[in-house]
Amino acid sequence: MKSQRKKKIAHVIYDLATAGAQTVVMNYMRSMYNDEDYESYVIVGNSYSGLPYEEEAKEKGFNVVYANYVPTTLSGPLRPVVNWFRYQNSLYKALKLVNPDIIHTHLMNILPFVAIPILLLNKKKVHTLHSDPYAIPYRFYIFAMIVFHLFRFKVIGVTENQSEKARKRYHLKNIPVVHNGLNLEKYKLSESKSDIRKELGIAEDAFVIGTVGRLDKIKNYPFLIKVFAGVVKEIPNAKLLFVGDGIERRHLTTMVNDMNLTSCVIFAGLRKDVERMYHAMDVFAMTSFFESSSIVTVEAQACGVRCVIADSIPKNVIVTKNVTSLSLDAPIETWVLAMKGEYEKMPQISDMSLFSMDKTIDELKEVYQQL
């Protein structure tokens, strides 16, 4: 017989930007909004700033609590220490307000700021790994080792390969996998490609290479721009579409200007309608140095888009026979051929159903139930 009271889950993350980990959290909220067993909350370290996911959460009535961390105005060597305590104090107050049964943290950079709240609140703890265990800065690795072992976190991965790496890296015995799931029906649109392109100012007959993700160094977007420059030489009406934003935008914009590609490259920024952006593309490209998973590659395939990805992307996201995987050390000319569809494709590795949201929620609930 089921308990009358739903268990409270508090997903802790520093913001709700439209990036990978934040998308995972939002997918959990969408799928478990009226769950009969769990009541889900998101604890956001920062303040509300009108980001697309924040707007969606407000519109749909999701339980989002902002810790409203404000950095100190002090300067000098004590500033980082003071901010460290201020952030933890903000998260502690937000978590105490919700009083969850389980605290579920996301992203390594939140871990240094949950130590004191978790110690004081004495709740069950889960952490999702959203990156390659060998790619994180050493200071975060040290902190992860401390909190995972000292505070007895249940650590989960998003792919089998990542979990295997994490077992070795963090000296943990068992790291279950909760795949990044999708509502696959969302990616089937009746809207025409030409209408979406018209909205973006792209000609109907243009050859569009697109990518989705935060504009961050790890995504290796300067390499993608160099590949695109090679494509334009052979296909003059080619366009490069960036969907997302981030700290590298200024650098990328400067690079595009210096290479005289301004008229060919579109920075669409953060979008609520990412699924529509895939349908504007002829090719989806992913050139990251490494990814723990690449849910955007699955999304692109769900939209029927041909994909060209780096071999640093986990192979389990190849869910169709429409994907080419290349080494980042391969010549630019080879990448250009792949973008044009003139290079061999990979065999299908996984079934699309591996990334269904129903399967993901079942996997997640199993982790919660075993705590």
pLDDT value, residue 294: 86
Q: What are phi and psi of 43, to 5 degrees?
A: -105, 115
pLDDT value, residue 272: 81
- Interaxial angle between packed helices 357-370 and 20-31, expressed in degrees from 0 to 180 and rounded to the nearest 10: 90
Map tokens 């265990």 to a residue: 133
Mean pLDDT, the chain, as a whole number?
92
Q: Where in the chain is the domain with CATH 3.40.50.2000?
A: 7-181+356-370, 184-352
210-228 pLDDT per residue, tens: 999 989 999 999 999 999 9
In the chain, which stretches have pLDDT less than 70?
A: 1-4
Of 343, 312, 299, 332, nearest to 224 by C-alpha is: 332
pLDDT value, residue 185: 82
283-321 pLDDT per residue, tens: 999 999 988 788 899 999 999 999 999 999 989 899 999
CATH entry, 184-352, from 3.30.110.40, 3.30.420.40, 3.40.109.10, 3.40.50.2000: 3.40.50.2000
In sequence order, what are the beta bridge partners of 239?
208
- Taken in order 170, 313, 138, 67, is the CA torsion positive or negative? negative
Amino acid occupying residue 126: V
CATH entry, 7-181+356-370, from 3.90.1150.10, 3.40.109.10, 3.40.50.2000, 3.60.9.10: 3.40.50.2000
21-66 pLDDT per residue, tens: 888 999 999 999 999 999 999 999 999 988 889 999 999 999 999 9
Whole-angstrom Cα distance, residue 90 to residue 292? Answer: 30
Whole-angstrom Cα distance, residue 167 to residue 154? Answer: 12
Whole-angstrom Cα distance, residue 224 to residue 211? Answer: 9
pLDDT value, residue 76: 86
pLDDT value, residue 295: 86
pLDDT value, residue 2: 52
Q: What are phi and psi of 222, to 5 degrees?
A: -55, -35
